[in-house]
Chains A and B, each alone.
Chain A
Amino acid sequence: AQSVSQHNHHVILSEAASLELGCNYSYGGTVNLFWYVQYPGQHLQLLLKYFSGDPLVKGIKGFEAEFIKSKFSFNLRKPSVQWSDTAEYFCAVRSGGSYIPTFGRGTSLIVHP
């Protein structure tokens, strides 16, 4: 079964700092990859997704992620975070012909103004 690891459980940054959140998955075949964001008290919203093509994916709000197949990774990056980026971030993977996404445990990001 697919598993998804998010190594950073809690991240605290100051505004304008750079962000990188790690995500690794276990299945080695064809994958669809997602990053979702959950702002306090809200539902999950899609930040970006990778299905095929260019492994560098750009999403909303200045976020991007890079799919590195050899490392089974899909890390999320943002060059300069804002206070409004305070949220929980979830990596999700779909693989093996299954349409069901498997989620990581999430990373809580706090950005201090």
Chain B
Amino acid sequence: NAGVTQTPKFQVLKTGQSMTLQCAQDMNHNSMYWYRQDPGMGLRLIYYSASEGTTDKGEVPNGYNVSRLNKREFSLRLESAAPSQTSVYFCASSDGGMNTEAFFGQGTRLTVV
């Protein structure tokens, strides 16, 4: 039962470097999400994808891009990392219907120095 798998688990970047966070789910879910978690701020939505081929901005999209590669995979890219992007990033997926819950990956702890 893999569920939602994120890679990497930890990453340190220098300011200005780029990287892609990978996420894959094996539950045949339509919808996928990227959140960032910061102390005292809870989880804030960065981008989401209602279904394969569609993506939309969430609450805090600046500095990020996403790709819904196929139904299973939803990646998050930082083109030019900034210290303000130091955070824990969570990928989640859900069936997309109203009476379903979201399932979360293990998270990626990113530090930008």
Please give the residue numbers on chain A whose beta carbons come within 8 Å of chain B beta carbons, in ascending order: 6, 9, 32, 34, 36, 42-46, 49, 51-52, 90, 92, 94, 97, 99-106
Interface membership of B106, Cβ < 8 A = yes
Of the candidates A9, A52, A99, the one having the most CB atoms from chain B within 10 angstroms of its own CB is A99
User: How many pairs of A and B residues are in contact by the CB < 8 Å rule?
Assistant: 53
Query: Can you give 19 A-B contacts (C-beta < 8 A)?
Result: A6-B42, A34-B101, A36-B104, A43-B106, A44-B43, A46-B101, A49-B101, A92-B102, A97-B98, A99-B97, A99-B98, A99-B100, A100-B33, A100-B58, A102-B45, A103-B42, A103-B43, A106-B40, A106-B43
Q: Give the shortest distance, in Å, between A32 (CB) and chain B (any CB).
A: 6
Of the candidates A9, A32, A101, the one having the most CB atoms from chain B within 10 angstroms of its own CB is A101
B104 and A43 form a contact (CB under 8 A): yes
**Chain B interface size, under 10 / 10 to 19 / 20 to 34 / 35 or more:** 20 to 34
Q: What are the residues of chain B within 8 A of A102 when measuring CB–CB?
A: 45
Bound complex: CA A9 to CA B31 (Å): 30
